[in-house]
C-alpha cells in the first residue's frame, strides 16, 4: 500500500513538473487557456483524474494525498496567474508598440470650402446697402395671406394671388412666401419711421422651370420710410448700388411700370457691360439689361401698418439674387445655383 501512495505522490510531482515545463514556451492567451483546461480543468483536467483515486485510498492515506493534491493545485494556479500577468503585460507592450502614434506629425488638412455664389451675392449686395445705413433683416419663409398679399395692397384678382402660382400650405391662409416683402410689413408694424431695411431670403413660386426660372429662388428687397423721401432719393440710392456692384461706368434707366405695392413704380435697367449700351447678343441688341423693380411705397400699404401717408413716405425696391449673380458672373442658367455641381461652384 505504501508503494502505491508513493507512486501517487510521485505522479503528482511529475504532473507538476511537466505542467510547469509546458508553461514556459506558451505565449498566447489561447494556448494558456488550453493549458488551464488540460491540467486544472474541472471535468477532464489531469489533476482531477488523479484525484479520482481518492475514494480508493485508506483513511490514513487520504489526507496525505489530499494535501498533496491541494499543494500541486495551488502551485499550478500560482504559475497560471503569473503567466497570465506576464502575457497580459506582453500583449499590452505589443499593442503599445504597434499602435504607437507620432503626435508630432502634422495633421491632415481638410479641403477648404468656399461660399456659395448666392450667399456671396447676398453678402455683396447687403454690404453695399449697409454702407448706406440700411439694416439687414431676415423673415419667415412660411407666411400668412395677410402679410404676403393683403397688407401689400395685392388685390384678390391679382395674378400673384392665383392659387396656381402660390405654394399654399393651408389654401387661402398659410403659404410659402412669394416675396420677402411680408417682412417689411412686419418691420413697419413693429417700429416707427425712419426705417431703412434690406431683406434677403428664399422665396417660392409655383412656376414652370426653365433656364431663368426656378420654383425657389432668392430675393433682396429694400424699404426706406421717412418724412422726406422722393423718387430722386430712390434713383440715387439704386444708382449708388449699381455702381458699387457692377462698376462706376454702368448707367441706369428707369421705365414706368406697375406693382400693387408701389405708386409710381419703375423697372430698372442697367447698361449692358459687354457692349457698353451699344447693343449686342447678350442684351438682345437693346443695350440694356433688366436688374430690379422699384417704386414709391403705395399709401394703402402705409395705411395698412398704421402710418399716416400724409406724414410719411418711402421707397422700395426688389431684385432676384440669382438674376444679379447671373448678370455679374455671366451665367446663363439659373438651375446651376441649386445643382450642387462642384465643377460649377469651384469656378466662382
Cite the annotated binding site by residue number: 263
Q: Tell which one of 8, 16, 301, 331 touches ligand 2U9 (CB under 6 A).
A: 301
Helix (H) or strand (E) holding 256: strand 252-259
- The residue (of 201 and 320) whose beta carbon lies closer to ligand 2U9 is 320
Q: Using the rule CB under 6 A, give the single segment among 27-35, 129-137, 160-168, 289-297 that binds ligand 2U9.
A: 289-297
172: left (phi over 0), alpha (psi -120 to 50) or beta: left
**Is position 121 an interface residue for ligand 2U9 (rule: CB under 6 A)?**
no
Nearer to ligand 2U9 (CB atom), residue 152 or residue 272 = 152
200 binds ligand 2U9 (CB under 6 A): no
By CB under 6 A, residue 259 contacts ligand 2U9: yes
Is 197 a binding residue for ligand 2U9 by CB under 6 A? The answer is no
Q: What's the rounded Cα separation, in Å, for the pair 202 and 215?
A: 10
Q: Which helix (H) or strand (E) holds 267?
A: strand 262-271
Instruction: List the x/- string, 28-67, binding to ligand 2U9 by CB under 6 A.
Output: ----------------------------------------
Q: How far is the CB of 147 from ligand 2U9 (least distance, A)?
A: 10
How far lies 344's CA from each of 124, 125, 202, in Å? 20, 21, 21
Which contacts qualify for 155-158: CB closer than 8 Å, 24 or more apart?
A: 155/260, 158/260
Angle between helices 29-40 and 2-23 (to 10 degrees): 170
Query: How many residues of this chain interact with ligand 2U9, rule: CB under 6 A?
Result: 20
Q: Which residues sit in the known binding site for Mg(2+)?
A: 263
Which residue number, 207 or 341, has a Cβ lying nearer to ligand 2U9?
Answer: 207
By the rule CB under 6 A, 12 interacts with ligand 2U9:
no
Smaller CB separation from ligand 2U9, 265 or 271: 265
Tell me: does residue 295 bind ligand 2U9 (CB under 6 A).
Answer: yes
Hey, is 259 helix, strand or coil?
A: strand
User: Could you report how far apart the first and last alpha carbons of the chain are, in Å?
Assistant: 102
Q: Is 122 in the site for ligand 2U9 (CB under 6 A)?
A: no
The span from the CA of 231 to the CA of 214, in Å, is 31
Residue 228: CB atoms within 10 Å:
8
Can residue 316 be called a binding residue for ligand 2U9 (CB under 6 A)?
Answer: yes
Residue 139 contacts ligand 2U9 per CB under 6 A: no
> Binding pattern to ligand 2U9, positions 160-189, x when CB under 6 A?
---------------------x--xx----
CB 245 within 8 A of CB 128: yes
Select 47 or 316, whichever has its Cβ closest to ligand 2U9: 316
User: At 102, phi and psi to the nearest 5?
Assistant: -90, 100
- Backbone CA torsion sign across 289, 339, 321, 168: positive
Residue 223 touching ligand 2U9 (CB under 6 A): yes
Residue reference for cell 388685390: 155
CA distance 345 to 72: 78
Query: Which residues make beta-bridge pairs with 175?
Result: 143, 168
Tell me which residues touch ligand 2U9 (CB under 6 A).
Answer: 181, 184-185, 219, 221, 223, 259, 261-262, 292-295, 297, 301, 316-320
Amino acid at each position: 500500500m505504501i508503494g502505491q501512495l508513493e507512486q501517487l505522490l510521485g505522479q503528482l510531482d511529475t504532473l507538476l513538473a511537466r505542467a510547469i515545463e509546458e508553461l514556459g514556451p506558451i505565449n498566447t492567451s489561447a494556448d494558456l487557456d488550453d493549458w488551464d483546461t488540460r491540467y486544472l480543468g474541472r471535468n477532464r483536467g489531469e489533476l482531477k483524474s488523479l484525484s479520482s483515486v481518492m475514494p480508493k485510498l485508506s483513511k490514513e492515506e487520504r489526507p496525505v494525498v489530499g494535501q498533496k493534491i491541494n499543494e500541486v493545485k495551488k502551485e499550478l494556479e500560482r504559475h497560471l496567474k503569473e503567466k497570465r500577468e506576464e502575457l497580459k503585460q506582453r500583449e499590452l507592450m505589443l499593442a503599445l508598440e504597434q499602435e504607437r502614434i507620432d503626435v508630432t506629425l502634422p495633421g491632415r488638412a481638410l479641403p477648404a470650402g468656399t461660399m456659395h455664389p448666392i450667399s456671396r451675392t447676398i453678402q455683396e449686395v447687403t454690404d453695399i446697402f449697409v454702407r448706406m445705413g440700411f439694416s439687414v433683416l431676415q423673415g419667415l419663409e412660411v407666411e400668412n395671406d395677410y402679410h404676403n398679399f393683403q397688407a401689400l395692397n395685392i388685390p384678390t384678382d391679382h395674378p400673384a394671388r392665383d392659387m396656381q402660382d402660390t405654394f399654399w400650405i393651408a389654401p387661402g391662409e398659410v403659404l410659402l412666401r412669394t416675396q420677402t416683402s411680408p417682412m417689411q410689413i412686419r418691420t413697419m408694424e413693429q417700429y416707427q419711421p425712419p426705417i431703412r431695411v434690406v431683406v434677403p431670403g428664399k422665396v417660392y413660386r409655383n412656376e414652370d422651370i426653365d433656364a431663368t426660372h426656378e420654383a425657389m429662388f432668392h430675393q433682396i428687397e429694400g424699404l426706406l420710410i421717412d418724412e422726406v423721401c422722393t423718387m430722386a432719393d430712390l434713383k440715387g440710392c439704386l444708382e449708388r448700388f449699381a455702381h458699387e456692384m457692377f462698376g462706376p461706368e454702368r448707367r441706369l434707366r428707369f421705365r414706368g411700370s406697375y406693382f400693387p405695392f408701389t405708386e409710381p413704380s419703375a423697372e430698372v435697367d442697367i447698361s449692358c457691360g459687354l457692349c457698353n449700351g451699344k447693343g449686342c447678343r447678350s442684351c438682345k441688341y437693346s443695350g440694356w439689361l433688366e436688374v430690379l423693380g422699384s417704386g414709391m411705397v403705395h399709401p394703402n400699404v402705409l395705411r395698412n401698418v398704421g402710418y399716416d401717408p400724409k406724414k410719411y413716405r418711402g421707397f422700395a425696391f426688389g431684385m432676384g439674387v440669382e438674376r444679379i449673380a447671373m448678370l455679374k458672373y455671366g451665367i446663363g442658367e439659373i438651375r446651376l445655383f441649386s445643382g450642387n455641381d462642384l465643377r460649377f461652384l469651384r469656378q466662382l
